[in-house]
Amino acid sequence: MDVSVVLPVYNEVDNLVPLHAELTAALADLGRSYEIIYVDDGSRDGSFETLRRIRDEDPHVRVVRFRRNFGQTAAVAAGLERTTGDIVVTLDSDRQNDPRDIARLIARLEQGCDLVSGWRHDRKDDFVSRRIPSMTANWLIRAITGVHVHDYGCMLKVYRGDIARGLRLYGEMHRFIPAIAADLGARVDEIVVNHRPRVAGTSKYGISRVVRVVLDLVTVKFLSVYSTRPIHVFGVWGVVIGGAGLAILAMLGFEKVFLGHPLAGRPILVLASLAVMAGVQLVTMGLLGEMLARTYHESQNKPIYVIAEDLAATDRDAAGAAPAAAQPG
């Protein structure tokens, strides 16, 4: 399979038939073999029945149905796991992404990238409820992850198949895919894509998502930097805070023993004691985190590195053996 397309679907019954017509036309123009995977995320408006009819009429289509609404990240993850294509495409099912942009994204991917993300530069959404939260979230993600993609929320993306199937998504992590892929060593790029106003259905996003973005962003940053060495974040702060507390206690002890200053009624004594206890607890959390990280990686045989190429010595020897054998003795 050349191209796999994944579309999460949630209550988009009025968009599915025209979207599928646009999508199949764009994929046919590529001149490559393709499959389309729709993931119905527990829709209650008849979307699954429409998808079933589309599947019955188009042999390229596969439909996955969740028992209930698990969220967009779960739908994207389920679709990615079932792809077989060398190139994987994701896009929304609300028809705001333009399927004709897929060809341009694939062309950029084949210039040496591993993931190409769409950038909705001229976005056709409400400014207050959609664009302000998106701009805020994008700024935070860029600042904290260091991966400078303008539009993390754009679902229109093209991946190399091994990168797409190597992603492990949960929570609301689909919005951080460029940062997660970059952490795996992927070369990430973006291009401006066409964004269209919604003509049917209702949006599922709003300002409330900013809070969830912040919380998930903390998780992404921690997992990308400290997942294999949690003692480095907890232990450092524990040593700093606990050391400061011990230094204050030492100073107070010196004043009491050698200068005769009373300690009763001095709040700094309580503060120093709390700092020492907090330091011990942080170091202990770091050690427990190390044990959990070791158990996690060893029990799942999860690698702590990602290999791009492995040129074995036997390959080199085999390549060099033929010319040597061809020479007369």
Highest mean pLDDT of the ranges 135-144, 197-206, 269-278, 308-317: 269-278
> What would the pLDDT profile of 276-295 be if each residue is shown by its tens digit?
999 999 889 888 887 887 77
User: What percentage of residues in the chain have a pLDDT greater than 90?
Assistant: 43
231 neighbors 289 (Cβ within 8 angstroms): yes
d(CA 247, CA 88): 57
What are the residues facing 6 on neighbouring strands?
Answer: 37, 90
Tell me the C-alpha distance between 271 and 268, whole Å. 5
Query: What is the CA 229 to chain-centroid distance, rounded?
Result: 20
246 and 210, same structural domain?
Answer: no
Of 206, 225, 244, which one is at a domain's C-terminal end? 225
Say how many domains are in the chain.
Answer: 2
167 with 274, same domain: the answer is no
Residue 329 lies in a domain: no
In the block, tokens 């994929």 appear at: 27
Identify residue 155 by its one-letter amino acid code.
M
> Averaged over 25-36, what is the pLDDT?
95
pLDDT score recorded for residue 303: 58
Report yes or no on 323 lying in a domain. no
pLDDT of residue 319: 47
Model pLDDT for residues 39-78, shown as the tens digit of each residue: 999 999 889 999 999 999 999 999 999 988 888 888 999 9
The pLDDT of residue 127 is 62
Residue 313 falls inside a structural domain: no
Mark whether 161 and 239 lie in a shared domain: no
- pLDDT at position 201 is 63
**Does 240 map to a domain?**
yes
Which class for 134: exposed (0-12), middle (13-18), buried (19 or more C-beta within 10 A)? Answer: buried
Is the pLDDT at 15 greater than 50, yes or no? yes
Domain shared by 180 and 251, yes or no? no
pLDDT of residue 300: 61
Residue type, position 207, single letter: I
Q: Do 266 and 215 share a structural domain? A: no
Residue showing tokens 């904290």? 144
- pLDDT number for residue 307: 58
Give residue 327's pLDDT band: very low, low, confident or very high (50, 70, 90).
very low
Average pLDDT value over all residues in the chain: 83
- Which has the closest alpha carbon to 76: 13, 145, 167? 167
Q: Residue 170: which pLDDT band, with cuts at 50, 70 and 90?
A: confident
Judge whether residue 312 has pLDDT over 50: yes
Residues 261 and 206 in one domain: no
Q: What is the distance between the alpha carbons of residues 313 and 162, in angstroms, rounded to a whole number?
A: 24
Range of the domain at 28: 3-225
Residues 219 and 282 grouped into a single domain: no
> What's the chain's length in residues?
329
Best mean pLDDT range from 45-54, 118-127, 222-231: 45-54
Supply the pLDDT for residue 32. Answer: 95
What pLDDT, on the 0 to 100 scale, is given for residue 83?
95
Q: Is the pLDDT of residue 125 over 50?
A: yes
CA atoms within 13 A on the CB side of 216: 20
Neighbours of 170 (CB within 10 A): 12
Q: For residues 152 and 148, what is the distance between their CA atoms, to the nearest angstrom?
A: 9
pLDDT bucket at 328, cuts 50 / 70 / 90: very low
Is there a domain that residue 203 lies in? yes
Residues 249 and 132 in one domain: no
Residue 190 has a pLDDT of 94
pLDDT at 210 over 80: no
Domain boundary among 207, 225, 243: 225
User: Which strands, in side-by-side order, build the sheet including 115-119?
Assistant: 61-65, 34-40, 3-9, 87-90, 157-160, 115-119, 188-192
Indicate whether 270 and 166 sit together in one domain.
no
- Residue 324 pLDDT > 50: no
- For the segment 106-126, the average pLDDT, to the nearest whole number, is 89
- Cα(111)–Cα(243) distance, integer angstroms: 53
Quick one: 245 and 212 in the same domain?
Answer: no
Q: Is the dihedral of CA 103, 104, 106, 110 positive or negative?
A: positive
Q: What is the pLDDT of residues 243-270, one digit of tens each?
A: 999 999 999 888 888 888 887 778 888 8
Does residue 84 sit within a domain? Answer: yes
**Structure tokens of 321?**
């053996």
Indicate whether 52 belongs to any domain.
yes
Residue 37 belongs to some domain of the structure: yes
* Residue 117 to residue 158: CA distance in whole angstroms: 7
In whole angstroms, what is the distance from residue 45 CA to residue 10 CA? 9
Kindly state whether residues 280 and 179 are assigned to the same domain.
no
Residue 82: CATH number of its domain: 3.90.550.10
Q: Give me 41's structure tokens.
A: 């995320």
Q: What pLDDT is attached to residue 322?
A: 46
**Confidence label for 24 from pLDDT (cuts 50, 70 and 90):** very high
pLDDT computed for residue 56 by the predictor: 93
